[in-house]
Structure formats: C-alpha cells, structure tokens
Amino acid sequence: MSKRILSCMQPTNRLHLGNYLGALHNWVKLQDEGDNQCLYGVVDLHAITAGHDPGSLAQSTREIAAAYIAAGVDPARSYIFVQSAVPAHSQLQWLFATQTPLGWLKRMTQFKDKAGKKQDLASLGLFGYPVLMAADILIYKATHVPVGDDQKQHLELTRDIAQSFNQHYCDGEEFFPLPEPYITGEATRVMSLRDGTAKMSKSADSDMSRINLTDDADTIAQKIRKAKTDPEALPDNAKGLEGRAEADNLVGIYAALSGQAKEDVLADFGGKQFSEFKPALADLCVDKLSPITARMRELMDDPGELDAILKRGNDKAQSLAAPTLEETMKILGFWR
C-alpha cells in the first residue's frame, strides 16, 4: 500500500544543519522511495502562537518553502503548501477542538516548557497548538509523519483524537487512519557545536552553535574550526565515541553528509587529531550545503516564481483536504 507522508516546519528564524540532516534530507529520501505520496507544509499558523514579527512572516514562509525545494523536494511530485492558505486546516482544527478534553492538552510537555511559570499569560492558541497539528495530519489522512523526538507526544495526541472520533462517530470504523511516527534516526540528530549534549537549535543564543543553511563557505569553515572538542585524537571505532559528545556529534555530521556509517568515517580518521578532521568536515559541509544555499538564493530572488509554485501546491492541497472536511462535517451532522 502506498504511504501518505506528511511533515511540516514552522517559519520561525533560520533553518540550520540540524533541520537539513534531521528532516529535509529524510523528506527527500521518502519522496524518492516507492510510490509514497508526500505532503510538506509550512505551518505559519503555528508560528504565530508564541509572538512573531508581522513584518517578516511572509518572507520566512517563502524561505522555508525555498529550503524544501533547494534540498530536493520536487513540487511536481510532492505537495508543498502554506498552512494558512489551505483553510481546511483551521476548519478541521475547530471541530477537533470541541472534541478534545483539556486534560489531554494539559499533559503536553512542550506547552509546559514553552509557557513556563506564566501559563495564564500563554495564549489559547499555544495551548491548542497540538490540536491544529492533529488537523494538519488528519485532514490529509496521512499514514506516516516524520518528526523529531520532541514531537512524539503531539503525534500520540493526534492518534488519540483520530481514535476517539472513529469510536464516537463511526462505530469504530477507521475514518481517520492512525498515523505512525517516523522518528528520525540517531545518526541524524545534530547537536550544538558548542555543547554536544544540546540539540542544534534555531533559538540558541550563540550563532556559533549552529550552521545555518544561509551561511557562506567562510562562515561554515570558521564555525567548524571553533567547534568545541576534547584534546584527544579521534578513536578508530564508534565505541570510542562514548562519553565524547562533541566528537560524536562531529563524526555523526560527517557520516550523515557523506552517506556513510560512523564506523567508516573512523576507519579513515581514527588516530587523527581534530586539527586534521575539522578542515575535512568543513570542506564536506561546504560541498554539500553550497548547492542548496545557491538554489535557495535563486528561488528567493524570484519571489514571483516561488509564489506561483506555492499557489499550485496550496490548490492541490486544498482539493485533497476539502472532501475530508466535508465528510467530517457530514458525520458530525451539520446542515450541508
């Protein structure tokens, strides 16, 4: 059976190497595998749940879409869409909001982390964020959702919403399929260049902790040269990376970018110092990222063309989503 795969990113800040190796790289592989049908959204409605700049939202939305295309998502085969331009997402979200107990949402650890001690000041939208995410997924009846570890709980909530709808309104028949997570593998978990135990993140204070997809070659080389390491030489097998978070991270990045296992990288670099490994890693990074960066710039320089691609994607997405919304409303007994 063909899989229907859906994943999304928020248009907040810049994309970095972690987004590329942890997500985009994978998305492209999934698109090229079997007869998967892939949908990739830019979730701008999610991006306004925690304060945003109206002056840059549209441009950030274009930038994320450009990154998808530059990384290899093919708009002719996959759907690339903007969430706010496909109204069925918001409409289904309302229907789900009325069916989701507050208790389920109160358990969401990401809300607790984001709202911190000031929960009463957090918006209803931030609290309901996972319900909108469930709508993103179920409006297309997606079967597989590639997400990072931090989104696993939201995906479980999505399954709960789908299951409870099926049970309550469809006599347990599977109207909404229960989507499976595609948790991205260990090898592609990219950590900060300053602290091998923290994820590479767009919100970390120091820009030196991440490689942005828009960094030029010199900046990339400088960030890798300055990346934190330990004084030891590289081990000659993966076991030797245990307890050496920074070394493990850099070897992992090399492995992912070159399409090798860490063992293979260490077969070449075992016993060598970082002073030798880092320049090789910098060259590899520049080699792999510069075509993506260049393509992204090209797309950003021609917003007319990019917008036309997005409009086609939005239309395709809406025509896939609309019948599901219609059926859901019929099942709920609305006047039509």
Residues numbered 309 to 328 that lie near ligand TRP (CB under 6 A) are none
Q: Choose which of 4, 5, 8, 184 interacts with ligand TRP (CB under 6 A).
A: 8
Return the closest-CA partner of residue 210 out of 45, 265, 202, 33: 202
Given a contact cutoff of 8 angstroms between Cβ atoms, the answer to whether 230 and 247 are in contact is: yes
Q: Which of 3, 29, 106, 114 is catalytic?
A: 114
Q: Choose which of 4, 5, 10, 221 interacts with ligand TRP (CB under 6 A).
A: 10
Nearer CB in complex with ligand TRP: 43/296: 43
- The count of chain residues that interact with ligand TRP, using the rule CB under 6 A, is 12
Q: Is 106 noted as a catalytic residue in this protein?
A: no
Which string of x and - marks every residue 150-169 that binds ligand TRP (by CB under 6 A)?
-x------------------
93-97, Cβ contacts within 8 angstroms, sequence gap of 24 or more: 93/128, 93/131, 93/132, 93/134, 93/135, 95/328, 95/329, 95/332, 96/131, 96/134, 96/135, 96/138, 96/161, 96/165, 97/128, 97/131
Is the CA virtual torsion 214, 218, 223, 229 positive or negative? positive
Stretch that binds ligand TRP, among 51-59, 119-127, 144-152, 285-293 (CB under 6 A): 144-152
Which string of x and - marks every residue 26-65 that binds ligand TRP (by CB under 6 A)?
-----------------x--x-------------------
Which string of x and - marks every residue 249-278 that binds ligand TRP (by CB under 6 A)?
------------------------------
Q: Which of 199, 272, 288, 316 is catalytic?
A: 199
Q: Choose which of 5, 6, 88, 227 interacts with ligand TRP (CB under 6 A).
A: 6
Q: Choose which of 39, 48, 65, 147 interacts with ligand TRP (CB under 6 A).
A: 147
Q: Which two tokens stand for residue 200?
A: 């590479």
Nearer CB in complex with ligand TRP: 46/210: 46
Q: 195 to each of 115, 164, 254, 272, how far by Cα in Å?
A: 25, 42, 17, 22
CA distance 73 to 176: 26
Given a contact cutoff of 8 angstroms between Cβ atoms, the answer to whether 246 and 230 are in contact is: yes
Question: Taking each helix axis from N to C terminus, what angle separates 274-301 and 57-71, rounded to the nearest 10 degrees?
Answer: 120
Q: Choose which of 137, 224, 292, 296 interacts with ligand TRP (CB under 6 A).
A: 137
Q: 163 to each of 19, 32, 94, 136, how far by Cα in Å?
A: 30, 30, 17, 16
Q: Where in the sequence numbering do the catalytic residues fall? A: 114, 199, 202
Residues that bind ligand TRP (CB under 6 A): 6-8, 10, 43, 46, 133, 136-137, 145, 147, 151
